[in-house]
Structure 1
Amino acid sequence: MRCTSICRKTLSENCLLKITNGNFTSEYKDLKSNKTLFGSAIRDFEVTKPGSPGKSSLWAIFGPAKSDFLQVAAGRFLSVPPLSRSYPQLQNDNGHNKIQFLNFRESTGIDKVHLSARYESFSYKGEAEISDDVNSVYNYITGANNYNSNSGHKDPKYVSNLLELLNLGHLSKKWINSLSNGQLRRAKLAKALINKPQLLILDDPFLGLDGDSTKLVSRSLRDISKDLSISVMLGLRVQDDVPEWIEKVAFVTHEDGIKICGTPESVLSSIREQLPAETVHAGKNKNKMTSTEKIHNDELVHPDRVPHIEFKNASVIYRGLPILQDLNWRIPKGTHWRIFGANGTGKTTILSLITADHPQSWRSVLSVDGVLRKTGSGSNFFDINNKIGISSPELHSLVPSNKTFMQVILNGLVKNIGNSNFMFDGSKVPLDDFAKHVLSTFNDEINANANTPFGQLSTTSQKLALFLRSVIKKPELLILDEAFSCIDDPLLLEKCHSFVEKDLRDTTVLQIAHIDWELPKCDYVIHLTGDDQRSYSLHKYVQGQ
């Protein structure tokens, strides 16, 4: 479907991006083989300044080729023919930094540190050092830190306005690596806006955010566009809700290029008609375990049995700020849990205590199989992690891009290296029956990607590799922290869920996800709440009608 109803000719002073009968390729050598990103050329697409006729300044891009299309909009890939893509207004201005592209599926812009290093550094920094650190939120946003070459001399009034729009003023002196996911998302947005771009392109801006943080980021983007006169393009999944301030929507595939284009109402209606229901809803209604009943901690484990993991009056406090407070939680062996709470309520801290990445893990805050974990207890970091399988955003950011899909999976079989070490080869480790079962179950997906370097895989395939790595050793404890948050294939998502629910029924599973349908079925949920005053509650899922 052409975008004829909405892609009208506009004066060059209003047009930021225009594509006319264009296709794109990644390398010059692909020109001879006619290897292009899209099966059909992009006939007519444009992004205009806010307030221009036609309302084409605020876009949402959906579809399996959305990420490639956003990169095209950002100036990446070679245009065919060369003049089919143009930036009319930017040609008349200083184009440097006038387009800012952020992909929130990637971990860029800050240093990549695993949880253990992050917590150790936070634990041993002095209060003055943290508040005045070169890596404070303010210095990160303005470019005055040592991780980029941007000048730190910015207009104080403009910076203050940015911090206010993104609700970051109270965090300006905080260490950047101590922010929650939602706070870090807003800090990255502020950094992208520091050079006053005219076009802001964001891929998956709401990925991994809870409902409240999603609403805050969405409102911030709306206000930024209005107050700073910035055009915005968002890359969203078909399962995502479209912000009410979006003006136009396009659905992009590699086969057709722009397949559908128009107002949000017309495009979303067409998507629902053309795509399979499971693709649109992605299992939103598949899990009927939506009702919960509150339970007491003492009800979880029979008095004659020992919990797999137990927290007793566990508290984690950083210089007067409680992260966890008087947590009492008994986790029976073989139960499947959801750890639920807003960004910054301590979910990741709980997991890091269990995996021994947190320095306070050894201060008698938890027991495993009835043995209190403390210095001199006989266990060490590697023994602990031999029994744990993990898939998390932190691990995702540490995978070497040259490791193949299969190498990443088999690395999970190597013992005594921890879960964050991807350098060891697991191909020579003998496969037990369960490992063979894992590889057999996902044989088609493995054959399609086995020798592909991790950096060249789609995000869906990267997530699958990390999931299979976490389960192939049949861990006693499986931690799925946003493990399925980027998987676009609903059938693959269901396949992974089914594997957890059936093949790992006797494994203790702890899961974090902000979207219900991204989770396999759970038995229980722990709900973390509060800011300065932390609290929690335990609930049991009951079968819906």
Structure 2
Amino acid sequence: MRRPNRRSLRWVAVLRQYGTSSSRPPIIRIANGTFYRHHPNSLQSAKDANPPLFENLNFEMPSFSSAPEYWSVIGPSSTGKTTFLQILRGQHLCIPHTARSHPYLETDEIEQKNHEFRQPFHAIKHVGFDGEQELGRQAPKTAYLSARYESRREDTDFSVLDYLQGNTELNPSQDISKKTFDAATLDRVIRDLRLGDLINMPVSNLSNGQTRRSRIAKALLGNPEVLLLDEPFMGLDPPTLLTLSPMLYSLARANAPRLLLTLRPQDPIPDWITHLIFLKGNCQVAFQGAKEEVLKDLREYVRKVKHGDVEPEFHLPIHSMHEVGRQLTSQGVEEPSTMGNATASIHLTPENHDYLSRDGYELQDVEVQKIGEALVEMEGARVAYGDKAVLGNWTQEVNGVEKEGVWWTVRRGERWGIFGPNGSGKTTILSLICSDHPQTYSLPIRLFGRSRLPEPGRLGISIFAIQSRIGHSSPEIHNHMPKSLTLRQVLANAWADTFRGKPNLNTDANERIDACLRWFEEDLRPVSSKITQIQGSVSAKTDWADHLPFGGLPFSAQRIALFLRAVIKHPDLVILDEAFSGMDDGVRDRCLLFLAHGETKQFSSGLTKDMEGSIGRRIVESEISKTGKVKVAGLNKDQALLCISHVREEIPGSIREWICLPEANTGQPARFGRLNGPIQGDYRRWNEIWGM
């Protein structure tokens, strides 16, 4: 029998995709379905809160479509995006039970392809990105943060290839049912996700973007019919966004697999997405349909609220929409020309210098920055593992002279942004500052005026002395923070030497902890309905945090707790590494305002209009400040701030100095610059940093 050549197989694939699209049943169909975590009549439902999820939901994903149909679900944190994806996979109870079906999975075609795919749980894969460290979860956690920087490979340092193939057990046993992947499929996935240069690298050494591609590749090796990607753009730098989006588009266009993405309101929408679902804050759909129609509905809703034609819905706040509509193209992120002022917050009007950034800074500098003594001094730092340099493999001009390595000084009062593509060395440079990196001992680095090793006439500085003067929040801190600690213990840990060490607390420290818990109670306490006193009340009790396990909090609340841990002690140096990633814009803005002003400022309770009719929240003096009972103030001139983020809305308005590291192994030097105001005040400042 004559075997078909590759060209004919491609035409068969095309015909399979489009030839009978009208006759193929949908792969997911939901018709007027309402979902519950427990049956409404069960004892469990009576015991626990069991609200309906997505009442009377209607949704259909075609198995093959003659016209492009690529869906994205948009909503702030805690609106039910992950729950929506779980429902598509067949999770949660559906009433009536016939309302949810997967018709295409019941066809003979699926039976011949893979019998297991008759079950939605096998045919539909879900990959979330709010906990990147899960990539290597089969291996033991590293005992200390600097372990990932050691040049020696341990038995537990599984490679990317090990991870893709599932070879991540320390004592594997023979399993005849273990699934294997054919070489052609493995090669194709590695090529499509650009993992060829990383295949032998330990998974613990991967950057955020590299980790993301590896996790998607792992899911693709199972050849799923549908791949649900939960917030795939969170925490990615602009260059990585520009490569990941077309990569996902190529998969969606080939129906191999069909894709559905969830996005936060601040995430740009890929230009190839054709349909949107915008969620309310109570696990309900607000708008659904073709992308342009949904954006039009959003604009109309904002217009009606702005003109007082309708009252804003509690579960559909205006301030959660002012960043929706930006488009991710092959050339970069384009601002919405049609939404513009219709959804802009009062804080997003850079033309009028009387307005403030979202954290209360003038949109143009009006004061000269006061600079103090040096806290961090790098004079030619270069980090290499054997022959591979990962930081400082360049020459840069220092006072008119070309010198090798990283030359950089951070002084009291300075606010630095550290930028660069994923894998450029941002985490490495922070590990040198925190002294987690073992090469800190041998490099020309002084921390708080002293080196790690003794110098003539001066003792070296210990790691405990260093870290006692630093407040640090990062994904690595999040990964290593014991989940068994209570919320209060996490904040108190700012005064401890180790994660499980006993904190050295005094009256002032306990008052600071109570103040932070009261200020963010609405965001930290799961049962917000039990809050009986307004934010800022100094008499409110905080014993609810004594028994609330950190590991049981939502991801966003955990991020808030770690942010507070970093700033609560008022350290000399505050380091925020992707500290606001995973928060919705409302929570993020409250954290940014707290970073800048502490308890002295807060957002007004209602919406206000500016002179141009744009809607936003006004920054006002807090009641605590008026009564002189502030316990936690914002950053002052004696502190320095270092911030890493790939999302411009997460950059504090105080950032003025910036360093942008080059892509790894290019030999290009780091670039330095200074801003004349918050990035929010002029989007050209963001483009300047990234050289776009």
The TM-score normalised by the length of structure 2 is 0.68
Query: Partner of 2:635 in structure 1?
Result: 504
Report the Cα distance in structure 2 between the residues aligned to 1:144 and 1:291, rounded to whole angstroms: 54
Percent of aligned pairs with the same amino acid: 29
Work out the CA distance in 1 between the residues paired with 2:447 and 2:157: 39
Is the CA contact 1:59–1:234 (under 8 Å) kept in the aligned structure 2?
Answer: yes
Q: Which structure is richer in relative contact order (CA contacts within 8 A, separation 6 or more)?
A: 1
Residue by residue, what CA displacement relative to the aligned partner does 1:339-396 show, whole Å, maximum 9, x if unpaired? 0111111100010111111111111331022212227844322222121111111122
Please state whether the residue corresponding to 1:238 is helix, strand or coil: coil
1:202 and 1:430 mapped to 2: Cα distance? Answer: 46
State the one-letter code of the partner of 1:280. Answer: M
- Aligned partner of 1:369 in structure 2 is 448
5 Å-filtered alignment, 1:82-481, equals: 82-92=97-107, 93=110, 94-95=116-117, 97-107=122-132, 108-111=134-137, 117=144, 119-120=146-147, 122-125=149-152, 135-146=158-169, 151=178, 153-227=180-254, 229-255=256-282, 257-274=284-301, 278-281=319-322, 285=348, 286=357, 306-325=373-392, 326-374=405-453, 377-413=459-495, 415-417=496-498, 421=499, 423-424=500-501, 430-432=507-509, 434-435=512-513, 437-446=515-524, 448=528, 450=545, 451-481=547-577
SS of the equivalent of 1:22 reads strand
Change (3 A) 1:265 1:427: farther
* Letter in structure 2 aligned against 1:508: A
Q: Is 1:528–1:537's contact at 8 Å kept on the other side of the alignment? A: yes
- Tell me, what secondary structure is at the counterpart of 2:464? helix
Q: 1:440–1:57: structure 2 CA closer, same or farther, 3 Å change rule? A: closer
CA distance, structure 2, for counterparts of residue 462 and residue 271 of structure 1: 30
Among candidates 626, 633, 651, match of residue 519 of structure 1: 651
Within 2, Cα distance between the matches of 1:342 and 1:500?
A: 26
Q: Which amino acid aligns with 1:470?
A: A
- The answer (yes or no) to whether the contact 1:143–1:151 under 8 Å persists in 2 is no
TM-superposed deviation, 1:151:
4.3
Are the equivalent residues in 2 in contact too, given 1:291–1:541 (CA < 8 A)? Answer: no
Q: Which moved more, 1:518-527 or 1:528-537?
A: 528-537
Residues paired across the two proteins, number? 517
CA–CA separation in structure 2 for the residues paired with 1:144 and 1:114: 17
CA deviation string 1:81-121 (max 9, x = no partner): 33332222224442263111011012323138778746435
Shift of 1:175: 1.8
8 A Cα contact 2:559 2:579, kept in partner? yes
1:253, 1:356 → 2: CA distance?
Answer: 44
Cα pair distance change 1:461/1:171, threshold 3 Å? same
DSSP-derived class of the 1:41 partner? strand
Cα separation, 1, equivalents of 2:370 and 2:389: 27
Give 3-state SS (helix, strand or coil) of 1:125's partner.
coil
Using a 3 Å threshold, how does the CA distance of structure 1 residues 34 and 483 change in structure 2: closer, same or farther?
closer
Question: Equivalents in 1 of 2:127, 2:86: separation in Å?
Answer: 10
How many angstroms apart in 1 are the aligned matches of 2:213 and 2:452?
37
Distance 1:39 1:205, change over 3 A: closer
Give how far 1:445 is off. Answer: 4.0
CA distance in 1, matches of 2:523, 2:281: 20
**CA-to-partner distance for each residue in 1:472-504, whole Å, 9 max, x for gaps?**
2221111100111211142x3222112222311
Greater radius of gyration (CA): 2
Distance 2:555 2:208 in 1: 19
Ranges in structure 1 where 5+ consecutive residues have no aligned partner: 1-9, 293-299
1:282-312 CA distance string (max 9 Å, x none): 57833688899xxxxxxx998xx64111101
- Is the 2:277–2:287 Cα contact (8 Å) retained in structure 1? yes
User: Residue 539 of structure 1 aligns with which residue?
Assistant: 673
Indicate if the aligned counterparts of 1:42 and 1:257 stay in contact, CA closer than 8 A.
no
Q: What are the Cα deviations for residues 218-245 of structure 1, in whole angstroms up to 9, with x where unaligned? A: 1111112233531111110112111122
Q: Does structure 2 retain, via aligned residues, the 8 Å contact 1:322–1:534?
A: no
What is the aligned partner in structure 1 of residue 85 from structure 2? Answer: 70
3-state SS, counterpart of residue 374 of structure 1: coil
Q: Using the TM superposition, name which of 423-432 and 369-378 deviates more.
A: 423-432
Deviation at 1:468, TM superposition (A): 1.0
Return closer, same or farther for 1:399/1:445 CA change in 2, 3 Å cut-off: same
Query: TM-score if structure 1 supplies the norm length?
Result: 0.85
Does structure 1 conserve the Cα–Cα contact (< 8 Å) formed by 2:38 and 2:50?
A: no
- Going from structure 1 to structure 2, the CA distance change for 1:256 and 1:416 (only over 3 Å counts) comes to closer
Q: Which amino acid aligns with 2:105?
A: L
2:581 to 482, 485, 497: 485
Structure 1 window deviating more from structure 2 (89-98 vs 503-512): it is 89-98
AA paired with 1:493?
Answer: R
Greater shift after overlay, 266-275 or 443-452?
443-452
Secondary structure, in 3 states, of the residue corresponding to 1:313?
strand
Contact 1:66–1:253 (8 Å) recurs in 2: no
Q: CA deviation at 1:434?
A: 4.7
Per mean C-alpha deviation after superposition, the further-off stretch among 350-359 and 495-504 is: 495-504
Q: What is the deviation of 1:138?
A: 1.8
Contact 1:454 1:462 survives alignment (8 Å): yes
